[in-house]
């Protein structure tokens, strides 16, 4: 009697189980009532209890499924998979998922009965599991009538999508044979056919247990999509998604089924049916058929191969090994060599080791034999036998000693091998001799070239054969060419007839040639060039795949004949073909070593020995061991001398792939450790690393530190004139800040972030947004009820209105700011406001108020030696104060004092990149002073010097200031045509912005330039353009534009002297009232000129004599000379 709990078989009549002690009871299978153990009928329903129950058709248990998987799995592969157990937990991987089930399983059970049906399924499982593992896939789950398999996890694989399709193809073929065999035994069985669905995508891998089962959750719906596609497949077919199709196109023949609606997916997906493998078996075969890029950078290596071939023709056998990392161009060099010898009388045989053929004995040798005897995939056994026999006859070879061994290699039934008694060792030796004899015999007819590609995937039997063949070619016309990656170490030692070629990466010039061909243009935008060169680093395969990926994602845009980047790239785009190559190398690393690589990938493209030790927490010797493995694997290389070493990822893509394998949770931890390591290692130079620290703490989600370093990084970006970057950093810092609990410190910091952003917005001319920031900050500040934050907001209101030429509003807000700081011991904040208030008074022509505040600022900073300090502003108050006060003194006729102030303001700190804005503004005011007095005084050189720095800034405002400064200096030098051109550039720079500051002055000067050039119409246009701006600030600009109007009227045709005189006198009165005596005197000069035009020479002479004396007293020689020339002209009229 079987125990219902533990299934132990007890003796009949037992009351309790001998194994688990459970009370044994008999239950009626029909109604469920418990009856005595010896009962023959149920006393509830009358059911006959002596009839044995029919075995229920149920799925095998989970343990039974696992037993089947392990039973059919080769021991070596079991160990290989289990060795990955600890490596893959909690990693992101890109895998190919295959679902496979048998159609008609339920009718099969009903027709044959459960026992026989499950016996058949047991054999089906054996086929499925073997065919999956033949291609190094892993059966992850067994369903009632099929399997779910993974390719690429737990073992990372190259060509995972291709392996999955080949596995599916092998399953269909084997199932067809199995079905035929069954139907020969039982005609009532319907044909057994499988349906297969395949999809490639990302998954997050979980735990791999002792049972080989991988637990994982899909990123997106990778697994679900593969299952849905399998549900669409018809009996005996394989359907794949568009993702898998793109990765295997050309390697198989497909039928496009169009867009298919998938349950759970809003958008239909493209589905393809696999028809059969194509004759092309490698990516290079597919590329060659589509067309290759120009052959570059390998001319020397090709010449060496051709020289070797010349020696072969003379009977001196040669062997060449071509070694290079993946994607460098081994296959391409071999292809070009074959083209070069195409017209020679030569036999060229090729064999390929494939990523999934390492377990297939003699795979590349069989390839060579197929090529030699022209054996094709579709040939049956008799056709193969006939072709081999015909080939042996041509060679004059002994059929008896060769044919059985060759047929055995071709898996021909009745090869005759079973009739030859021999040990396995002897069998291997005879196969080697048979193939070797054919090879040497063929070379006696004509020179023979045998190329074996990708020996890093060679099986052991083939490697032993090749070593044996090498021993016999020195006197034969045989040319052996091998290609392999650096990880393959050959065993044939140094031979005089063996040469090794190592292919290096392409140079930038050679890479650009490839790029131009792929993009079909030589006109490639510099940004696109740089992106491709930096990411692909001279590896041809990477260049092709990366460019193709960028084109597919529409990142590359072609306008006319120029290719450029169409949109921002948020992250490095790694084509899956490149990922597979790199991931296969990374996954073979020991777990701890892989952890070091992943930690390094979080640091960046390179990482120091000190930093990786802090991050990993490993002991010195242990860390050195892991780093040594990484160097030997050529994943990183070392620069510098230990312990000051730096380790650099050999490829940018290697770093990106290693990083992508990390789950977000682990990434956050590592980013936090990297940030702490930087803080620890670079305490004294922390300012240099604020960008990195912000980056790492942001990704670590350490919000307080992210906010702190984000602000510092934004400040640094601003000082480097990277204004857009500064705004972005402050926006991101604000996002981080809002993740923190709302309290007073958070709100105060939020105000600071909004106001700090305004400096960049003002410089870029985005004044509306700056005003909006002020309004939002004011709302927060009023909520806090504290005067100091509100005062800071008023300060920024003042700055923003100042740049909008709204000086009265600016003055109002500055005065309000001072009220908030008054009596609170905020001296630094008071000085912060007084400086821009002085600039506002300067702009309002309130010279005395401005001069008083500038003088206070200068004396305060000189007293505490803070001339290079910012005092809460982003400009240098000291240098601005000196330059501005110098200009005021010039207006007042105190020229020598003005010159001294301008010179004093030109401090060394202005040369720093961080002070570019101050340098520009001071150059502008220097040139304005120069234009006022008509003396260069170093203004032109200073303006040109500062203009050279403008390629470092994206700010239209700064460009405007630079060109305006140069225009002023050129006008002072009376280079009027050049000045007009430069002023035009200034106007062009601020098109589309709301910037108005100093714009009216540019138009003012352009009117004078046009009049000097005799272009009265242009002068009038400039006047009309500048007048509305002048009317916004009548206190300062009305006198200037009244002066211009007088000049225009006096020089019009016909002149309007009466009206001109009115405007001249208005200008003079306003200037003299404000104390601007020099501009008033200059207006008097043009009034004197007009009087001369009106023939009032005496009045004109009297005025000019007076002006000459004034300009001489003020030491303004330029205007003194103009008066003397005008007087001379009057004298000539006598």
Summarize pLDDT for 475-485 with one digit per residue, the tens: 899 999 999 98
Angle at 975 between CA 973 and CA 980, to 5 degrees: 125
Architecture of domain 298-502: 3-Layer(aba) Sandwich (3.40)
Mean pLDDT, rounded, for 1065-1080: 93
Mean pLDDT, rounded, for 687-692: 91
Looking at residue 62, its pLDDT comes to 45
Answer whether residue 54 shows pLDDT above 50.
no
Which tops the pLDDT comparison, 150 or 415?
A: 150
Which tops the pLDDT comparison, 893 or 56?
A: 893
Handedness of CA 600, 604, 605, 611 (dihedral sign): negative
Summarize pLDDT for 452-483 with one digit per residue, the tens: 999 988 888 888 888 888 888 888 999 999 99
- Return the top range by mean pLDDT from 257-266, 600-609, 634-643, 873-882: 600-609
Q: How confident is the model at residue 216 (pLDDT cuts 50, 70, 90)?
A: very low
Cα–Cα distances (Å) from 1122 to 411, 932, 967, 1085, 1125, in that order, read: 109, 14, 21, 9, 5
Closest by CA to 259, choosing from 251, 268, 250, is 268
Q: How confident is the model at residue 363 (pLDDT cuts 50, 70, 90)?
A: confident
Which tops the pLDDT comparison, 920 or 109?
A: 920
Looking at residue 400, its pLDDT comes to 77
Which alpha helices (DSSP H) does 487-590 contain, by range? 508-519, 526-536, 540-552, 576-586
Which of 264-273, 598-607, 628-637, 944-953 shows the lowest mean pLDDT across its residues?
A: 944-953
Hey, which residues does 99 pair with through a beta bridge? 148, 197
Q: What is the dihedral of CA 409, 415, 419, 424, to 10 degrees?
A: 10
Looking at residue 609, its pLDDT comes to 93
Mean pLDDT, rounded, for 63-86: 51
Which alpha helices (DSSP H) does 574-702 contain, by range? 576-586, 591-603, 609-616, 620-632, 652-660, 664-681, 690-699
Neighbours of 378 (CB within 10 A): 7
Q: CA 514, CA 534: separation in Å to the nearest integer? A: 15
Closest by CA to 921, choosing from 886, 977, 883, is 883
Contact between 16 and 22 under an 8 Å Cβ cutoff? The reply is: yes
Looking at residue 90, its pLDDT comes to 61
Which tops the pLDDT comparison, 1101 or 570?
A: 1101
Mean pLDDT, rounded, for 413-430: 77
Mean pLDDT, rounded, for 18-40: 67
Task: At 721, give phi and psi (nearest 5°).
Answer: 65, 25
Cα–Cα distances (Å) from 297 to 261, 502, 538, 833, in that order, read: 48, 13, 10, 64
Q: CA 787, CA 199: separation in Å to the nearest integer? A: 63
Cα–Cα distances (Å) from 857 to 99, 854, 876, 926, in that order, read: 79, 5, 11, 19
962-1132 is classed CATH 1.25.40.10: yes
Mean pLDDT, rounded, for 300-304: 92
Strands 448-453 and 478-484: parallel
Looking at residue 383, its pLDDT comes to 87
pLDDT > 70 fraction of the chain, expressed in percent and rounded: 89
Which of 248-262, 516-530, 1012-1026 shows the lowest mean pLDDT across its residues?
A: 516-530
CATH superfamily of 62-277: Nucleotide cyclase, GGDEF domain (3.30.70.1230)
Residue with tokens 């089924």: 257
Contact between 269 and 277 under an 8 Å Cβ cutoff? The reply is: no
Q: CA 810, CA 804: separation in Å to the nearest integer? A: 9
Strand residues in 143-237 grouped as ranges (E): 146-151, 194-208, 214-218
Contact between 1130 and 1092 under an 8 Å Cβ cutoff? The reply is: yes
Which of 215-229, 456-470, 774-788, 825-839 shows the lowest mean pLDDT across its residues?
A: 215-229
Q: CA 978, CA 806: separation in Å to the nearest integer? A: 31
Hey, which residues does 110 pair with through a beta bridge? none
Mean pLDDT, rounded, for 591-618: 92
Answer whether residue 441 shows pLDDT above 60.
yes
774 burial via Cβ count (<10 Å: 0-12, 13-18, 19+): buried
Neighbours of 100 (CB within 10 A): 28
Q: How many residues does the chain have?
A: 1134
Which of 209-223, 289-303, 799-813 shows the lowest mean pLDDT across its residues?
A: 209-223
Contact between 720 and 736 under an 8 Å Cβ cutoff? The reply is: no
Question: By three-state DSSP, how is residue 9 classified?
Answer: strand
Mean pLDDT, rounded, for 847-862: 90
Hey, which residues does 221 pair with through a beta bridge? none
What's the chain's average pLDDT? 85
Looking at residue 8, its pLDDT comes to 56
Summarize pLDDT for 733-746 with one digit per residue, the tens: 999 999 999 999 99
Q: CA 436, CA 725: separation in Å to the nearest integer? A: 68
pTM: 0.69
Mean pLDDT, rounded, for 265-272: 89
Residue 413's contacts (CB-CB under 8 Å, 6 or more residues apart) are 381
Peptide bond into 402 cis (omega under 30): no
Looking at residue 895, its pLDDT comes to 93
Answer whether residue 315 shows pLDDT above 60.
yes
Q: CA 182, CA 192: separation in Å to the nearest integer? A: 9
Looking at residue 210, its pLDDT comes to 44
DSSP letters of 1010-1068?
HHHTT-HHHHHHHHHHHHHHHHHSHHHHHHHHHHHHHHHHHTSSS--HHHHHHHHHHHH
Answer whether residue 74 shows pLDDT above 60.
no
Strands 269-277 and 252-260: antiparallel
Answer whether residue 1019 shows pLDDT above 80.
yes
Start-to-end C-alpha separation, the chain: 148
Domain spans of the chain, in order of start: 1-53, 62-277, 298-502, 508-565, 576-681, 741-813, 826-911, 962-1132
Cα–Cα distances (Å) from 156 to 71, 585, 663, 932, in that order, read: 23, 8, 17, 76
Summarize pLDDT for 785-810 with one digit per residue, the tens: 889 999 999 999 999 998 888 889 99
Q: What is the assigned CATH class of domain 826-911?
A: mainly alpha
Answer whether residue 78 shows pLDDT above 60.
no
Mean pLDDT, rounded, for 528-541: 84
Looking at residue 570, its pLDDT comes to 58
Answer whether residue 81 shows pLDDT above 60.
no
Q: CA 231, CA 215: separation in Å to the nearest integer? A: 22
Summarize pLDDT for 891-923 with one digit per residue, the tens: 999 999 999 998 888 877 777 766 777 788 888
Q: CA 135, CA 150: separation in Å to the nearest integer? A: 11
| Residues 10-16: contacts with CB under 8 Å, at least 24 apart | 13/37, 13/38
Q: CA 81, CA 490: separation in Å to the nearest integer? A: 27
Angle at 528 between CA 523 and CA 533, to 5 degrees: 105
Q: CA 821, CA 813: separation in Å to the nearest integer? A: 13
Hey, which residues does 452 pair with through a beta bridge? 351, 482
Cα–Cα distances (Å) from 9 to 16, 534, 552, in that order, read: 11, 71, 65
Residue 968's contacts (CB-CB under 8 Å, 6 or more residues apart) are 924, 927, 928, 930, 931, 939, 943, 979, 1005
HSE, CB side, 13 Å, CA atoms: give it for residue 838: 26
Closest by CA to 365, choosing from 409, 427, 411, is 409
Answer whether residue 37 shows pLDDT above 70.
no
Mean pLDDT, rounded, for 100-122: 78
Does 826-911 match 962-1132 in CATH topology?
yes
Answer whether residue 84 shows pLDDT above 60.
no
Answer whether residue 106 shows pLDDT above 80.
no
Residue 1093's contacts (CB-CB under 8 Å, 6 or more residues apart) are 1050, 1055, 1057
Which of 14-18, 615-619, 622-626, 659-663 shows the lowest mean pLDDT across its residues?
A: 14-18
Summarize pLDDT for 125-177 with one digit per residue, the tens: 889 988 998 888 888 887 768 888 989 877 778 889 999 999 999 999 999 99
What is 576-681's CATH topology?
A: Arc Repressor Mutant, subunit A (1.10.10)
- How are the residues of the chain apportioned to helix, strand and coil, as percentages rounded to the nearest 5? 60, 10, 30
Answer whether residue 600 shows pLDDT above 60.
yes
Q: What is the dihedral of CA 791, 793, 796, 802, to 10 degrees?
A: -80
Contact between 677 and 614 under an 8 Å Cβ cutoff? The reply is: yes
Mean pLDDT, rounded, for 987-1009: 88
Looking at residue 55, its pLDDT comes to 40
Contact between 483 and 455 under an 8 Å Cβ cutoff? The reply is: yes
464 sits in which H/E element: helix 460-470
Q: How confident is the model at residue 880 (pLDDT cuts 50, 70, 90)?
A: confident
Looking at residue 380, its pLDDT comes to 87
Answer whether residue 52 shows pLDDT above 60.
no
Which tops the pLDDT comparison, 211 or 194?
A: 194
Cα–Cα distances (Å) from 101 to 104, 142, 262, 275, in that order, read: 9, 9, 18, 18
Q: How confident is the model at residue 755 (pLDDT cuts 50, 70, 90)?
A: very high
How is residue 811 written in tokens? Answer: 């003055």
How is residue 1014 written in tokens? Answer: 């005799």
Mean pLDDT, rounded, for 990-1002: 84
Which tops the pLDDT comparison, 144 or 498?
A: 498
């Amino acid at each position: 009697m079987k125990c219902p709990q533990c299934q132990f078989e007890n003796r009949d009549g037992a009351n309790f189980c001998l194994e688990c002690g459970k009370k044994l009871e008999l239950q009626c299978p029909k109604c469920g009532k418990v009856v005595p153990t010896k009962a023959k009928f149920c006393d509830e329903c009358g059911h006959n209890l002596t009839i044995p129950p029919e075995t229920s058709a149920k799925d095998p248990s989970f343990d039974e499924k696992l037993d089947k998987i392990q039973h059919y799995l080769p021991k070596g592969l079991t160990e290989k998979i289990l060795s990955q157990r600890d490596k893959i937990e909690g990693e992101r991987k890109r895998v190919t998922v295959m679902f496979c089930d048998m159609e008609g399983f339920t009718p099969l059970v009903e027709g044959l009965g459960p026992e026989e049906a499950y016996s058949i399924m047991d054999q089906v499982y054996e086929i499925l599991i073997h065919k999956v593992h033949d291609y190094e896939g892993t059966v992850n789950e067994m369903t009632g009538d099929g399997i779910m398999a993974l390719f690429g996890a737990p073992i990372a694989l190259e060509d995972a999508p291709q392996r999955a399709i080949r596995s599916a193809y092998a399953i269909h073929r084997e199932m067809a044979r199995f079905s035929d065999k069954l139907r020969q035994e039982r005609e009532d069985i319907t044909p057994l056919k499988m349906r297969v669905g395949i999809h490639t995508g990302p998954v997050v891998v979980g735990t791999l247990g002792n049972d080989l089962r991988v637990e994982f959750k899909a990123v997106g719906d990778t697994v679900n999509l593969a299952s849905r596609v399998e549900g669409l497949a018809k009996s005996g077919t394989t359907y794949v998604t568009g993702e898998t199709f793109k990765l295997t196109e050309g390697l198989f023949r497909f039928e496009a089924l169009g867009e298919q609606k998938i349950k759970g997916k809003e958008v239909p997906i493209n589905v393809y049916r696999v028809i059969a493998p194509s004759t092309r078996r490698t990516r290079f075969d597919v590329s060659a058929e589509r067309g290759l890029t120009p052959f570059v950078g390998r001319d020397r290596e090709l010449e060496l191969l051709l020289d070797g071939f010349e020696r072969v023709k003379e009977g001196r056998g040669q062997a060449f090994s071509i070694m290079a990392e993946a994607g460098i161009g081994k296959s391409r060099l071999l292809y070009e060599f074959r083209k070069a010898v195409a017209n020679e009388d030569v036999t060229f045989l090729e064999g390929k080791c494939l990523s999934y053929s390492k377990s297939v004995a003699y795979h590349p040798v069989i390839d060579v034999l197929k090529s030699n005897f022209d054996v094709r995939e579709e040939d049956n056994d008799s056709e193969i036998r006939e072709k081999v026999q015909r080939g042996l006859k041509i060679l004059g070879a002994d059929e008896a000693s060769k044919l059985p061994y060759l047929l055995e290699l071709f898996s021909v039934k009745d090869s005759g091998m079973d009739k030859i008694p021999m040990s396995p060792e002897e069998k291997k030796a005879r196969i080697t001799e048979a193939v070797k004899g054919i090879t040497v015999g063929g070379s006696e007819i004509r020179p023979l070239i045998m190329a074996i590609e990708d020996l890093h995937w060679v099986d052991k039997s083939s490697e032993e054969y090749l070593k044996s063949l090498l021993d016999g070619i020195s006197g034969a016309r045989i040319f052996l060419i091998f290609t392999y990656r650096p990880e393959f170490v050959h065993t044939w030692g140094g031979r005089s007839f063996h040469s090794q070629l190592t292919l290096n990466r392409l140079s930038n010039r050679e890479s650009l040639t490839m790029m131009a061909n792929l993009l079909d243009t030589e006109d490639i935008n510099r940004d696109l060039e740089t992106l491709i060169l930096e990411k692909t680093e001279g590896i041809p395969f990477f260049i092709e795949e990366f460019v193709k990926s960028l084109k597919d994602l529409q990142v590359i845009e072609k306008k006319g004949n120029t290719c450029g980047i169409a949109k921002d790239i948020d992250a490095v785009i790694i084509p899956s073909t490149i990922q597979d190559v790199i991931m296969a190398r990374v996954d073979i690393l020991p777990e701890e070593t892989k952890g070091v690589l992943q930690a390094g990938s979080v640091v960046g493209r390179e990482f120091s020995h000190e930093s990786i030790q802090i991050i990993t927490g490993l002991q010195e010797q242990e860390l050195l061991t892991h780093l040594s493995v990484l160097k030997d694997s050529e994943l990183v290389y070392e620069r510098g001398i230990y312990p000051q070493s730096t380790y650099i990822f050999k490829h940018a893509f290697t770093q990106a792939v290693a990083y992508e394998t990390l789950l977000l949770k682990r990434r956050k931890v590592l980013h936090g450790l990297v940030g702490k390591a930087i803080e620890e290692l670079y305490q004294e130079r922390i300012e240099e690393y604020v960008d990195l620290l912000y980056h790492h703490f942001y990704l670590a989600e350490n919000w307080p530190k992210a906010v702190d370093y984000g602000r510092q990084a934004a400040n640094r970006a601003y000082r480097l004139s990277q204004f857009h970057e500064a705004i972005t950093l402050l926006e991101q810092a604000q996002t981080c800040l809002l993740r923190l609990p709302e309290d007073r410190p958070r709100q105060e910091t939020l105000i600071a972030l909004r106001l700090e952003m305004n400096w960049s917005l003002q410089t870029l001319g985005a004044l509306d947004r700056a005003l909006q920031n002020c309004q939002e900050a004011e709302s927060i500040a009023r909520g806090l009820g504290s005067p100091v934050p509100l005062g800071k907001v008023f300060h920024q209101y003042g700055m923003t209105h100042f740049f909008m030429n709204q000086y009265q509003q600016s003055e109002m807000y500055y005065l309000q700011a001072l009220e908030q700081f008054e009596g609170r011991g905020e001296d630094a904040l008071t000085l912060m406001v007084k400086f821009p208030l002085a600039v506002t008074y300067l702009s309002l022509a309130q010279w005395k108020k401005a001069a008083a505040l500038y003088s206070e600022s200068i004396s305060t900073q000189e007293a505490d030696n803070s001339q290079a300090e910012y005092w809460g502003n982003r400009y240098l108050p000291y240098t601005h104060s000196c330059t501005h006060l110098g200009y005021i003194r010039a207006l007042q006729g105190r020229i020598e004092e003005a010159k001294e102030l301008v010179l004093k303001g030109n401090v060394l700190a202005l040369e720093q990149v961080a002070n570019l804005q101050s340098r520009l503004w001071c150059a502008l005011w220097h040139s304005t002073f120069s234009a006022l007095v008509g003396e260069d005084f170093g203004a032109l050189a200073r303006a040109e010097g500062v203009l050279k720095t403008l390629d470092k800034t994206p700010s239209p405002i700064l460009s405007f200031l630079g060109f305006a400064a140069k225009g002023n200096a050129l006008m002072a030098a009376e280079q009027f045509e050049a000045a007009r051109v430069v002023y035009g550039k200034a106007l062009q720079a601020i098109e589309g912005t709301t910037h108005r500051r100093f714009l009216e002055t540019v138009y003012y000067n352009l009117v004078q330039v046009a009049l000097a050039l005799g272009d009265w119409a242009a002068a009038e246009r400039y006047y009309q353009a500048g007048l509305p701006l002048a009317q916004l600030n009548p206190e300062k600009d009305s006198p200037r534009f009244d002066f211009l109007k007088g000049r225009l009227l006096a020089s019009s045709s016909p002149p309007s002297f009466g009206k001109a005189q009115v405007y001249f006198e208005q200008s003079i009165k306003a200037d003299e009232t404000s104390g601007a005596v020099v501009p008033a005197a200059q207006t008097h000069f043009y009034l004197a000129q007009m009087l001369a035009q009106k023939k009032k020479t005496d009045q004109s002479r009297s005025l000019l004599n007076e002006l000459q004396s004034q300009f001489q007293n003020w030491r303004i020689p330029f205007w003194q000379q103009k008066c003397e020339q005008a007087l001379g002209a009057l004298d000539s009229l006598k």
